[in-house]
Amino acid sequence: MRSVWEDSNRLLLSALTLLLTLGLCVIILAPLVQILAQSFFDAAHRFVFLDNFIDYLTHEKSLRLIRNSLFVALTSTLIVVPTAFGFAYALMRSRMPFKPFFRYISFLPLLAPSLLPAISFVYLFGHQGFFKPWMGGGTIYGAWGIVLGECFYVFPHIVMIFLSALSLSDARLYEAAQSMGASSLKKFFTITLPALKYALVSATLVSFTLVVTDFGVPKVIGGDFSVLATEIYKHVIGQQNFALGATVGILLLVPSVVTFLIDSLVQRKQKAVLGSKFVLYVPKKAPIFDTVMFIFALWVALFFLIVLGVAFFASFVKFWPYDLSLVLKHYDFSSMDGGGWDSYLNSLTLAFWSALLGTIAVFTTAYVVERGKVFPPLRAFLKLLALLPMAVPGLVLGLGYIFFFNHPHNPLNALYQTMGILVVCTVAHFFTASFITATTTIKQIDDEFEDVAESMGVACYETFFKVIVPIATPSILHIARYFFVNAMTTVSAVVFLYAPSTTLASVAVLNMDDAGDISSAAAMASLIVATSLGITLLFDALSHFALKQSQQWRKTR
């Protein structure tokens, strides 16, 4: 066998692989192991194995919580999946006008914390809601409010799944069906739907999990209707009962892990469906169908714009809904709970560092996993570590961070209650999606580049910076933007980890709403959306610029 020491490239790659594996173990695996271990001990630190779960699950109250969680998750999924499918179908298969506009609108919820739709619905239908007088005896606080809010929050994730699945269908299948005289309906049921079955499974699971693990919406609009996710928050923040928090956290982990496993199985099958080259499907003009789809998409878009717009508008209104004159006083956060403008600056700091360090960590990990050439088993393990965060709800990760980093014997204890731990946690939380983006990009780059460079005696890092990074620039920018926006909007993991000096804007929204100051909460949420939107536009411009710069060599013959 060749000695690693003789070969500086291999030496460097080996060191990097080891370093990254160790790093991901600390920021992902260790906190999870810690929370898992914690759930086997009682409040007096005695090992009780599954007793915590058995105790918990035999309580009438817990069963009600589980029922509640299941109810909102199933209902939201039943609404969101068909709607998102219709919307994606309209975008991909009709020739309705203003498609780019609709596409942008459907992604808007990604720019807002999940608290925002709940705030909007409170403004519309709450105690002082605009439509309150028309609601009879009904109330928005509770299950239906949560369902509405979750639909808004989950929608873009599901649309993306359907968009990518629909973009993969082969036009030749439709042409073949047409040549045999199949009707549109028959084509839909024999070609379109079967090709989408994996996407449907994925969409359903993802939607279900996102709703079960989200706590922003139920926190704001749930009223007395408690769900599992809000319960963890109450146990940990309200009662400082970490053991119980861990137990509920593990329960939340179950649907996520199941989703993750089924999804990765499904992804593998989906790959087998593809393989050969296919011809892109281009929809034909169909005036009636196009009009119907346009009207449908318009309603969906209107819903999104209203929900976003209400929070935004209300943040400038003097006293909703009685005095609609416009003022800026809600943006003066100085007298508010939650840290005021400082928390906004903290969020920017967090987003900046997460984007910077997260992008570097993700891209290097993806590169080492794909092209590392050393220690195949260790690289497979590294890949597993990188995919793991997808299966872990933010609340569970955050709780794990408390257990792991706050442990008195942990040398990393010093990180606790600093901006550092927030950055690390955010990077870990959003690792997987970016990792998949980076991996896909790297896979598309000819793997003979490294071989050629090596044969010429060029160091691997030189090829990495001179060739791989320039080719992958658009994807790297995409990853950085993803980290930035998510760091701005996330609440779930960081809510357990911030300190008085590191309050965050998204958490401030939560706390202001908690303190009853919904106008300021709306103002801060609007500020987050505006920032995310600004950053997205900035990165789009950067991406456009980068592509333009490299136009000469990127153009394909």
Instruction: Point out which residues bind another protein (CB under 8 A).
Output: 1-3, 6-10, 446, 448-449, 451-458, 462, 466-467, 470-471, 550, 552-557
Q: How far is the CB of 373 from another protein (least distance, A)?
A: 9
Report, in Å, the least distance between residue 472 CB and another protein: 10
In the complex with another protein, the residue whose CB is nearer, 409 or 555, is 555
The nearer residue to another protein, 175 or 462, going by C-beta atoms, is 462
Nearest to another protein of 177, 445 (CB atom): 445
Quickly tell me which residue has 């079960």 as its tokens.
Answer: 212
**Nearest distance from C-beta of residue 235 to another protein, angstroms:** 50
Q: Which residues, at least 6 apart from 554, have a Cβ–Cβ distance to it below 8 Å?
A: 547
- CA separation for the pair 65, 141 (Å, rounded): 16
Closest separation between CB of residue 9 and another protein, Å?
A: 7
Q: Among 448, 495, 452, 443, which residue's Cα sits nearest to residue 472?
A: 443
Nearer Cβ to another protein, position 1 or 44? 1
CB of 11 to another protein, least distance (A): 10
Question: Which token pair is 19?
Answer: 């370093």
Rounded Cα distance between 368 and 356, Å, is: 18
Closest to 396 (Cα-Cα) out of 119, 54, 25, 39: 39
The residue among 55 and 454 lying less far from another protein, judged by its C-beta, is 454
Give the three-class secondary structure for 139: coil
In the three-class reduction of DSSP (H, G, I as helix; E, B as strand; rest coil), residue 41 is classed as strand
CB of 549 to another protein, least distance (A): 10
311 close to 526: Cβ distance less than 8 angstroms: yes
CA distance 219 to 115: 8
Omega before 97 within 30 of 0, i.e. cis? no
Structure tokens at 532: 């995310």
Nearer to another protein, 93 or 379 (CB): 379
Which of 228, 300, 244 is closest to 79 using CA atoms? Answer: 300
Q: Which is nearer to another protein, 2 or 285 (CB)?
A: 2
Residue written as token pair 């699971």: 205
Kindly state the smallest distance separating residue 301's Cβ from another protein, in Å.
39
User: Concatenated DSSP letters for 485-523?
Assistant: HHHHH--TTGGGT--GGG--HHHHHHHHHHTT-HHHHHH
